[in-house]
Chains A and B, each alone.
Chain A
Amino acid sequence: MEGDGSDPEPPDAGEDSKSENGENAPIYCICRKPDINCFMIGCDSCNEWFHGDCIRITEKMAKAIREWYCRECREKDPKLEIRYRHKKSRERDGNERDSSEPRDEGGGRKRPVPDPDLQRRAGSGTGVGAMLARGSTSPHKSSPQPLVATPSQHHQQQQQIKRSARMCGECEACRRTEDCGHCDFCRDMKKFGGPNKIRQKCRLRQCQLRARLSPVTPSESLPRPRRPPPTQQQPQPSQKLGRIREDEGAVASSAVKEPPEATATPEPLSDEDLTLDPDLYQDFCAGAFDDHGLPWMSDTEESPFLDPALRKRAVKVKHVKRREKKSEKKVMERVKWKEERYKRHRQKQKHKDKWKHPERADAKDPASLPQCLGPGCVRAAQPGSKYCSDDCGMKLAANRIYEILPQRIQQWQQSPCIAEEHGKKLLERIRREQQSARTRLQEMERRFHELEAIILRAKQQAVREDEESNENDSDDTDLQIFCVSCGHPINPRVALRHMERCYAKYESQTSFGSMYPTRIEGATRLFCDVYNPQSKTYCKRLQVLCPEHSRDPKVPADEVCGCPLVRDVFELTGDFCRLPKRQCNRHYCWEKLRRAEVDLERVRVWYKLDELFEQERNVRTAMTNRAGLLALMLHQTIQHDPLTTDLRSSADR
């Protein structure tokens, strides 16, 4: 129904009057209209509803108010005071209100009938905002009035209870207001001087119901019936901490519960373990997180594992899994088995400890430093070391060697070393290969000399131009070949020459070298070895072919080509080409190419030899090291049966 104020009646002073104006509709506010389609606020004492527009309270302002009393009530009763919310609860309740009460959207009964519940809610939820308290312009600003203990105040207290996804609001932990300052999470906080890496609430303030972690309390730490020994080797700390992780499967928890020693014999849990419980909580909180060991750990070596483990735990928070479906016992067992696995990784902890605790020795008083282990030395050892000085260490090492080494050598020689035999066989093989490589090399050298002889002889031939004329070139002069290096078209007659020169031109722009000059005896002319000062390298191209560093000598006019002629490609006729070198197009640069061929073969053989040297060196080093001082000192093979030196059955040997 619309109450649009077309017939306004003079506002009544008494807002209690719900006089009906003929329509049977309840009327509200100082304007006495039944309009409920706009924002309304209800007085907490007289339960009358007022339009926000009429008393000039917007919805937004009302969000900040917890308790609101109309002007009349306040004037009547000076003790009534408009109460504003705490900032956070205002938002929350505002949300609640918004969700629970429909907004004005026009039409229909958007506003539920004001009923006591609603009133309470509205009374607490609506009200003049804190802005009013701050601001000075609102006419409704309440004057400071003493508190009235009304039911709404009780709500107020209740609404101070924080609830969230991780806080139930009702358990002991949620009720705490101060951080303990001693637990690991507190010590990480900035206000307690921490690096603020973990960023979690104080351990004692972790909600018992909803937090991911639950704090350790003495009552909780007395677990289910203890498992019978000897399967349970670690004392109760494991169970205690296992409790923490009971509903999680985080791997890190198992690291926390490392057993004391590998050699701990299974002992039944003694009564003294049980009586530690009440104190354990305190110790756990206060002392356990220090590096100086945990009260229940006897072996000081193992003690500081908690810290890295906790660090690990903090890091691994996201790997937590819920295991509620499994039974407790099974979880305990699994957790225990997991931690046993970690026994193999105790070295890691020890390693960490070493780095964490060099200063620990300093902290000890000098009287407790261990004695130097040097022979006959009574001085105290240096911190972090076993000896007082280098000399003592050396002396002890020397003594050790004198004592132990002869025995080890004897043991070694007692039985033949099969690997040695292998090594020897390998060496044999390498030797043989080296031999064959050397013969090949000699072969190469022979060919080299032969070639030189041929070239020499060819030079001595006289030029006989008329023997072969240029008409033999029956190639088409129209056919154009493209040079491979520069890409220009060239006449096939001069193609070979051109391409040689062209290639040399391009190739000489790059260098190819290594830092070391060639030092092979017996290699007459292999590598170019010209030093390039810019790149500090020696040119490693074949000397005969190097385009960078060897220029083709100018060919005199009367020099003869001299290339040995062949019939059917392979058979030497014994004859030589008589054309002048300048003109001969078929055998252009034949000496260079043949020399290069031979040189390449030689280079290959040298490489092979090099490789074989390398292998031999490796095998030799292995053989020497095997029975070397270090190997003998570090390892030992005890032979129990002097007759059996080789475990292979005789058929296989």
Chain B
Amino acid sequence: MAAEEPGDACSSSAWRRRQEVPEKPNYALKYTLVGHSAAVSSVKFSPDGEWLASSSADKVIIIWGAYDGKYKKTLYGHSLEISDVAWSSDSTCLVSASDDKTLKIWDVRSGKCLRTLQGHSDYVFCCNFNPASTLIVSGSFDESVKIWEVKTGKCLKTLTAHSDPVSAVHFNSTGSLIVSGSYDGLCRIWDAASGQCLKTLAVDDNLPVSFVKFSPNGKYILTSTLDSTLRLWDYSRGRCLKTYTGHKNEKYCVFASFSVTGGKWIVSGSEDNLVYIWNVQTKEIVQKLQGHTDVVITAACHPTENIIASAALENDKTIKLWISDC
């Protein structure tokens, strides 16, 4: 491997591109953020890279500084545990999905809840903005996927998507497609405008899908199933291209993420308290981050820097920030 001094390596993306593709990242623990009083369910970096939002079973959302790890704000308002949180593209709004069957849109600056979206008949489990931040898609235990308009708060469409709780929903980078995954083992791709189901990927017979996500270029889908496997699919052909194993995921809906700021990695939490990082192409595990004392339920990657945020469940309740040179 070409000698790269860890000290000055990868300090700017342009410089990095001229070098060889790094073989392994060297994520090291930098910050531990303590503050939640119950299991953390989701952490997300804001698109502008300044903030980190974390949602938790203690019914609040906490915003932290992404670069210094300092506490910024707490958003109160939900009456039951929050399962997911997502940023709008301009980093001014958040949407949160909660067990009280509602979603709330928050203005980060003022900390106030702008709108409450009601309509689901069971726990809302996952939520996401579209790239234009005009729509919100949400998946729920009532087996439906709903598309909401941000401005008015009205539910535009309800897709009777699955026959089991919907565990993940995501827009692609253009906002034209929605992917939804569910415990019934299916991944469905929908046209965002018309609500038509374009494709169904049967990941494995009856194996619950715990997480789905589009890749940043929109060509692939990353699915995570409760048999400790992550798969990368070319959804237009319906073929599984890569499989990533080695971690443990049999119970929880663990988030996974693409890390594209340095080397191309797949980052995922795991139930054995480690954060796993795989090389996208070679499928090898390149690093395992240790430090949490409970199931690592979520791992998020910073949009511009090589920072990973990971959070764990009840026994741990902390969020850890890791930084790498590549």
Question: Which residues of A come within 8 Å of B, CB atoms?
Answer: 231, 249, 251, 262-263, 321, 326, 330, 334, 337-338, 340-341, 343-348, 412, 415-419, 618, 622, 626, 631, 634-641, 644-652
Contacts and interface: CB of A to CB of B under 8 A. Distances in A.
B33 A337 contact: no
B183 A338 contact: yes
B81 A344 contact: yes
Nearest to B205: A330
Interface string B168-186: 0000000000000001000
A647 B305 contact: yes
A585 B318 CA distance: 79
A647 B11 contact: no
Interface residues on B, range: 35 or more
B81 A340 contact: no
A334 B206 contact: yes
Contact of B251 (A337, A618, A641): A337
14 contacts: A251-B141, A262-B294, A263-B315, A344-B81, A344-B83, A345-B57, A638-B31, A641-B29, A641-B30, A647-B69, A647-B307, A647-B323, A648-B67, A650-B11
A651 B11 CA distance: 7
Nearest to A651: B12
Interface in B73-94: 73, 80-81, 83
Contacts of B62: 635
B106 interface: no
A337 B71 contact: no
B314 A262 contact: yes
B72 interface: yes
A305 to B, nearest CB: 15
Given A418-B65, A647-B66, A649-B12, A344 B30 contact: no
Max count, chain B CB within 10 A of own CB: residue among A334, A646, A647, A650: A647
B248 to A, nearest CB: 10
B32 interface: yes
B99 A635 contact: no
Interface of B: 10-12, 28-35, 38-39, 41, 50, 57-59, 62, 64-73, 80-81, 83, 99, 110, 122-123, 141, 163-165, 183, 206, 208, 226, 250-253, 294, 304-305, 307, 313-315, 321, 323
Q: How would you classify the secondary structure of chain B's contact residues: helix, strand, loop or mixed?
A: loop
Contact of B69 (A337, A631, A639): A639
Contacts of B57: 344-347
B34 A345 contact: no
Contact of A340 (B38, B59, B110, B251): B251
Given A348-B81, A417-B65, A637-B31, A649 B122 contact: no
A347 B206 contact: no
Given A639-B69, A646-B67, 14 more contacts: A262-B294, A334-B206, A341-B252, A344-B39, A345-B57, A345-B99, A348-B99, A417-B68, A626-B72, A637-B34, A638-B31, A640-B31, A641-B30, A649-B10
B251 A652 contact: no
Given A636-B35, A639-B31, A647-B307, A419 B70 contact: yes
Given A231-B250, A334-B183, A647 B68 contact: yes
